[in-house]
Amino acid sequence: MHIKQINISRPLALMFPMGFASGLPLALSSGTLQAWLTVAGVDIKTIGLFSMVGIPYTLKFVWSPVMDRFNIPVFGRRRGWIILCQAFLIAITCSMATIDPSNQAGPMGLAALLLAFFSASQDIVIDAYRTDSLEERERGLGVGLTVTGYRIAMLVSGALALILADHMGWQTTYLLMAGVMTGATIFTFIAPEPALSGRPPKDMREAVVEPIRDLFERKAMISFLLLIVLYKIGDAFAGTLTTAFLIRGAGFSPTDVGTINKGLGLVATILGAMVGGGLMTRMGLYGSLMLFGILQAVSNLAFMTLALAGKNYPIMIGAVGLENICGGMGTAAFVAFLMALCNHRFSATQYAILSALAAMGRVFVGPPSGMLVDELGWPLFFFFTFMAALPGLLILRYLKRPIEALEEKAIER
């Protein structure tokens, strides 16, 4: 078998630190902040309202055209926006260290909202940078490195930050997190600006309208959009109630779930993303999407086995490990697919639109999942999640030639 060789280019090597920078702010405006508010004695209604600060992550496609249209002087169209966002993230994180949430909940809420806004904005441009700078053969591994950096950063600003706060205080911890982000920014300064294929949008109308028109002028685009929604829908159905199933359905303790599902699951996801990214260099985009999609679907049956067996640690470890490894592999191929669909002139806007569409499945499967469990029970529910993955695979098979054409076009570019 001929194996494509990959030389580690500078943009590819930078995917890990950029993924780290992308993942670091998330917990600081969500889980870690929620812990700080709880310890500070903020009432539960106010803490509940703080969950709304995550809205920018779901609406980031709204302002992404600005980042396609305008350049930041000196640093460039992609790198400049990343540096600007990171500067605001550092400043806002430092400012949060000066606020006492017990009597300044309003200012803390505003700071958290701004942190989420600039974090979502950073995500837009890092996604565009990855799309613009990586060659087709580098995309799978690049996604694996990005996911690894992102997940490790979530541990740093999540679990590690909570431990540090317990020993050093919340203010010091947030200052330390700002220092970590400052370190990550160094890699943005040394990153090369990707070469632009074609001219950028000449005005805001073109920046808003042309990315959408460009997408819908593609052959088979409606089928592509259906694939984006459906490819990981089985995973989304299973994942939305996994924790509830392990505790209520299978009878495991929260400690079991935290250690195995969260700890092992994190390691397995990173492993899956890296292995999947590596295999993509041999198998190509379509072959990877198909194989990893099948593995994603089959891995849900491991939870059906656990539901039938009851509380069984070896089966639980196997199910959690298999599901997360296969999910990580599927994510590597799926993100590379989204990148392949983007025109470099509008990659910030197009990737933001496509990723928002992909997130729809995760958002809307929650309510029907609960009703399905109530009607079917856990074993049949997980069999249903397996079946839910099949329409996406059928559409993928129908799109074999268009996806191979996307890959050939990317190689020629």
Note the pLDDT tens digit of each residue in 223-279.
999 999 999 999 888 887 888 888 888 888 878 887 887 788 888 989 999 999 889
CATH number, domain of 8, equals 1.20.1250.20
pLDDT value at position 400? 94
For residues 38 and 74, state if they share a domain. Answer: yes
Average pLDDT of the residues in 13-30: 93
245 and 182, same domain (yes or no): no
Domain boundary among 195, 214, 248: 195
| pLDDT of the residue at 384 | 95
Shared domain check, 337 and 255? yes
Residue ranges of E strands in 210-334: none
Distances (CA, A) of 223 to 220, 304, 399: 5, 30, 8
What band does 198 get if pLDDT is binned at 50, 70 and 90? Answer: low
Q: What's the pLDDT at 140?
A: 87
Does the pLDDT value for residue 411 go beyond 60?
Answer: no
> For the segment 296-350, what is each residue's pLDDT rounded down to a tens digit?
999 999 999 999 999 999 999 999 999 999 999 999 999 999 999 998 889 999 9
Which pLDDT score, from 0 to 100, does residue 8 have?
A: 63
pLDDT for res 4: 47
Whether residue 19 has pLDDT greater than 80: yes
For residues 70 and 128, membership in a common domain is answered with: yes
Rounded mean pLDDT of the chain? 89
pLDDT of residue 3: 41
For the chain, what is the domain count? 2
- 162 and 207 together in one domain: no
Of 132-141, 282-291, 402-411, the range with the lowest mean pLDDT is 402-411
Same domain, 247 and 131: no
The pLDDT of residue 124 is 95
CA angle 120, 235, 252 (to 5 degrees): 100
- Give yes or no: residues 234 and 176 share one domain: no
Residue-range definition of the domain harbouring residue 176: 1-195
Query: Are 16 and 158 in a shared domain?
Result: yes
Q: From CA 217, how far away is CA 173, in angstroms rounded?
A: 49
Q: Same domain for 50 and 81?
A: yes
Count the alpha carbons within 13 Å of 27 in the hemisphere toward its beta carbon.
25
Compute the average pLDDT of residues 144-166. 90
Q: Which residues pair with 72 in a beta bridge?
A: 76
Give the whole-angstrom CA distance, residue 336 versus residue 144. Answer: 10
Q: Check: CB of residue 180 under 8 Å from CB of residue 155.
A: no
**Residues 100 and 144 grouped into a single domain:** yes
Q: Which of 174, 195, 216 is the last residue of a domain?
A: 195
Query: 122 falls in which pLDDT band (50, 70, 90)?
Result: very high
Instruction: Look at residues 180, 53, 66 and name the one whose alpha carbon lies nearest to residue 119.
Output: 53
Sequence letter at residue 93? T
Among 80, 72, 83, which Cα is nearest to 185's? 83
The yes-or-no verdict on residue 120 having pLDDT over 80 is: yes
Last residue of a domain, one of 140, 174, 195: 195
pLDDT (mean) for 13-40 = 92
Q: Give the model's pLDDT for residue 1.
A: 36
Tens of pLDDT, residue by residue over 67-108, are 999 988 888 889 999 999 999 999 999 999 999 998 998 999
Q: What is the pLDDT of residues 156-167, one digit of tens each?
A: 998 889 889 988
% of the chain surpassing 70 pLDDT: 95
What are the Cα distances from residue 130, in Å, to 55, 194, 325, 335? 24, 9, 23, 10
Residue among 25, 55, 16 at smallest CA distance from 356: 55
Of residues 399 and 1, the one with the higher pLDDT is 399
CA–CA dist 283, 3 (Å, integer):
9
In this prediction, residues 195-219 reach a mean pLDDT of 86
Query: What are the C-alpha distances in Å from 90 to residues 24, 99, 108, 176, 177?
Result: 11, 15, 15, 10, 8
Distance CA 280, CA 292 (A): 10
Same domain, 161 and 233: no
92/58 same-domain check:
yes
